[in-house]
Amino acid sequence: MSDKMIINGVEKKGYTRDDRIAQMKFAQRKPHGNLADPRLRYDYLNREIGTLPPDTEREPFRWVSELAYKNIHRIVTRGWCTTELAEAGYGIVDYLFINWQARIPLEEERDVLDYCMVLGLEDGLSNPALIARLITRGKSYLTQACGGSVLAFGHSFASYDSTGKMILKYVGKVEEGMSLDEAAKLCVQECKKEAHFGISKLYAKDPTPKKLLDYAEKKLASIKKLRYVPFMKALEKAAKAEDSALCVDMIGALSATMLELEFTADGAWVLMGVTRAFAAGAHGLEEMEREGNDVLGQVLTPKEWYDGPADRPVPSLAERKGLAGAQSQEPKEWQANWKKRQELKGTGYSVDFVIEDPKKAAMKQHKKK
Amino acid sequence: MDRKPLIQRKTSISYKTEEKTVLRGYNVSDLAEAGYTFVDALFVLFQGRIPAENEKKMLDYEIACFMEHSMSPSAVSAIGVMNGHPMLPPAVAAAISTFGGAHGPGAAHGYMMKKYLDRAANEGKTIEQVAKENVDEYMDAGLAVMGMGQPQHIDGDPRAHPIHLKHEELGVEGVYRKFQTAVENYFWERRAKEGKSYVGVNVVGAGNTALCDIGFAPYAAWTIGSVARGFSCACHALHQYKRARAWSASRSEPMVQMLDLSMIKYVGPEDREVPPLSERQAYAKKQLESGEWRKWVL
């Protein structure tokens, strides 16, 4: 069989072979703009029209899931009927283990996750609550306020994924033979300036994170060998050697504990994000009850807060013809222009974006497989 | 009515008094009255300047091409969200949020260009040299070269080459276009040498390149592309809301629906008995120790 795509005896240049194309109609079109340019990869003036016929050689589309299925009379997650689970007495925290880890947790594990979720529920007027309140002020559905609050969880605020992955990296070094204290010291050296470090001065006067680590240790030590909570304690000790005011914070304690419960770093991130969304709903409700709504155009922005270009007349369209474009032709000129554009904020030119070394990214990808 | 700002921030983007709203120094009403368009205003917003006419035409062409892409992750998300009949905005928000590492137009492509152009500027290399290094470094690592390939348009994204031609026709080519062209040429040359099939440039490779040449930072280009797609996704959401049944599972529709029960293929653990709570600890301990569950953890 030829790999060429032949339609009505004529080879279609630039087409990958797919016999379904031959079943389709072709339409001759007028050559608008550049569409008759011979440099185009294929013939834009005579392409097939209509949708590609169904692929009968492969299995038809279905939603593939290892998480859950349902039929007319049963809903099953990870092999267990959800109704039978509820009737047997399992609760929402058990369901989280079942759904995310395909197993029934020990009571001790359930208790520790419950503790984490109580701590993660509310954090005063921090970002998720504020987002929820702002959304509610627009008289949106409350669900939008709750959903919007989850978007606050990034790589700085509530960075469970980054903190979790940091802990996994250095605990991995312990498993490769480095001592716990050495790994903790190395982590301090390499990560102390990161927003997701998990050790800070934020909880210097609030023992809650420390109490969580102690609770997790007390509950879980008898049922498994702990790896992450001891690392976080060692990390705190190593950090304190540099600055005694430093101590484990909520993101550090919760991330270590969630890993101890066998949740992945990504899993912990979104699980805690949804936990907080419940409280965001309450903040949204309070905003409705106590504050009210805004309308478009209502809120002013004082001129004193503005430090952009001074007020200037809009040039006429005729004057615009003399304006220069943004193009640079040589790398040095382009680099100088990039720096100059950083002077104006809100353009994106001052935001750092580090492209990872392709070799390192490749190693990660292989690990994932 | 309380008109005080909700949060206090210094800003160089705009201010708003009872008399006017000023964007980067221009009264927005004056801009509109003078005949400037929404596309012009995007330049004022993200770059603080009035664009040259051809730059405006380039942006207009690019976002028009990019706005609708039928069934891609963004539209499917809007449709999926709308199945539950929430308000429309969450469906649109979900659609815009799909733009990430795989679904373009990623800022990553723009910053990849920056990385290699910086190398050219700092190390005195030519654009062709750093473009070759880019392709080699990604291909040697077994990674996709950003801006190349699209899983549906396997013979080349129908938007991409026309965008390149328009970029050229409008005379707004700069270092980014030179770099992208060098990447494409070497990428095709290397794949051909290795006996690999043709992989065309995608709309990110073509469109993002054009947006960078007309002065948008990669992040700004990402915002513009993603939000432009939001327009069509809003329409997909409306279509789902007004023309289709909620849930997409009805048995009375002539076509099997997206959420018909038969559309589910379950590949998880076999069906099993729920242990009574009295046996829970022993059951859970045995399960924990077996480690079999680990392969299912997400």
Best interface-test mutation with A: which of B168, B188, B197, B280 has the largest number of A CBs within 10 A? Answer: B280
- CA–CA distance, B192 with B179 (Å, rounded to integer): 20
Q: What is the pLDDT of residue B280?
A: 96
Query: A306: helix, coil or strand?
Result: strand
List C-alpha distances in Å: B241 to A132, A143, B71, B202, B249.
Answer: 25, 18, 16, 31, 14
- A125 — contact with chain B (CB < 8 Å)? no
Q: Which helix (H) or strand (E) holds A247?
A: strand A247-248
Query: pLDDT category, A170, cuts 50, 70, 90?
Result: very high
CA distance B15 to A308: 9
A318 touches chain B (CB under 8 A): no
Report chain B residues whose CB lies below 8 A from the CB of A71.
Answer: 261
Q: A365 falls in which pLDDT band (50, 70, 90)? A: low
Residues 6+ apart with CB under 8 A from B189: none
Q: Is B193 exposed, middle or buried (0-12, 13-18, 19+ CB in 10 A)?
A: exposed
Nearest to A280 by CA among A113, A154, A125: A125
Q: Shortest Cα distance from B159 to chain A (angstroms)?
A: 11
Beta A63-65 vs B264-266: how paired, if at all? Answer: parallel
What is the model's pTM? 0.86
DSSP assignment letter at B83: T
- Average of per-residue pLDDT across A98-124: 95
Report the first-to-last Cα separation within chain A, whole angstroms: 34
The reply to whether omega before B105 is within 30° of 0 (cis) is yes
Whether domain B52-248 has CATH 1.10.230.10: yes
State the pLDDT at residue A367.
Answer: 52
User: Looking at the predicted structure, is the pLDDT value of residue A362 above 80?
Assistant: no
Asked whether residue A369 carries a pLDDT value surpassing 70, the answer given is no
Strand partners, A301: B16
Q: How many H helices and E strands in chain B?
A: 13, 4
> Residue B231 has what DSSP assignment?
H
SS3 A26: strand
Residue type, A252: G
Question: Mean pLDDT over residues A58-83, rounded?
Answer: 92
Between helix A160-175 and helix A250-260 the angle, nearest 10°, is 60
* Greatest CA separation for chain A: 81
Does B86 sit within 8 Å of A143, measured CB to CB?
Answer: yes
pLDDT of residue B4: 86
* Of B18 and A235, more confident: A235
Q: pLDDT at position A112, please? A: 97
Q: Which of B208, B157, B199, B158 is nearest to B180 (CA)?
A: B208
A364: pLDDT confidence band, cut at 50, 70 and 90?
Answer: low
Do the Cβ atoms of A63 and B265 come within 8 Å?
A: yes
- Tell me whether 0.85 is exceeded by the ipTM: no
Contact check, Cβ <8 Å, B5/A100: no
Burial of residue A194 (number of CB atoms within 10 Å: 0-12, 13-18, 19+): middle
Chain A within 8 Å of B253 (Cβ-Cβ)?
A: no
CA A210 to chain CA centroid, Å, is 27
Residues B12, A344: C-beta atoms closer than 8 Å = yes
Query: Do the Cβ atoms of A85 and B197 come within 8 Å?
Result: no
Percent of chain A with pLDDT strictly greater than 90: 83
Query: DSSP states of A131-196 as a string?
Result: HHHHHHHTT--HHHHHHHHHTT--SSTT-HHHHHHHHHHHHHHHHTT--HHHHHHHHHHHHTTSTT
Predicted local confidence at residue A1, as pLDDT: 46
Residues of chain A found within 8 Å of residue B48, distances taken between Cβ atoms:
308-309, 344, 347
A10 touches chain B (CB under 8 A): no
Contact B284 A105 (CB under 8 A): yes
- Chain B CB contacts of A77 below 8 Å: 268
Q: Strand pairing partners for B22?
A: B15, B27
Please check whether residue B235 touches A, CB under 8 A: no
Q: What is the reported pLDDT for A2?
A: 60
Quickly count: other Cβ atoms within 10 Å of residue B225's Cβ.
24
Average pLDDT, rounded, for chain A = 92
A41·B18 Cβ contact <8 A: no
Residues of B in contact with A358 (CB under 8 A): 137-138, 140-141, 143
**A61 secondary structure, DSSP code:** P
Q: Is the Cβ of B275 closer than 8 Å to some Cβ of chain A? A: yes
Q: Considering only CA atoms, which of A259, A260, A252, A227 is closest in space to residue A158?
A: A252
Size of interface A-B (CB pairs under 8 A): 325
List of chain B residues with pLDDT < 50: none
Tell me the per-residue pLDDT of A260-288, one tens digit each, with 9 for 90 and over: 999 999 999 999 999 999 999 999 999 99
Domain ranges within chain B, ordered by starting residue:
52-248
Chain A residues with CB under 8 Å of B129 CB are none
Beta bridge partners of B148: B201
CB-nearest to A262 from B14, B263, B297 is B297
Average pLDDT of the residues in A334-339: 97
A231 within 8 A of A171, measured Cβ to Cβ: yes
Contact A368/B at CB under 8 A = no
A295 sits in the region (left: phi over 0; alpha: psi -120 to 50; else beta) called beta
Residue B154 gets which letter from DSSP?
A: T
d(CA B213, CA B210): 5
Task: Check residue A108 and report its DSSP letter.
Answer: H
Q: Which of B15, B47, B274 sits opposite A347 (nearest CB)?
A: B47
Cβ-Cβ contacts under 8 Å, B261 against chain A? 70-72
Contact A308 B24 (CB under 8 A): yes
Give the mean pLDDT of A227-243: 98
Q: Find the DSSP H helices in chain A.
A: 82-88, 92-101, 107-121, 127-137, 142-150, 160-175, 180-191, 208-220, 228-242, 250-260, 265-290, 317-320, 331-341, 358-368
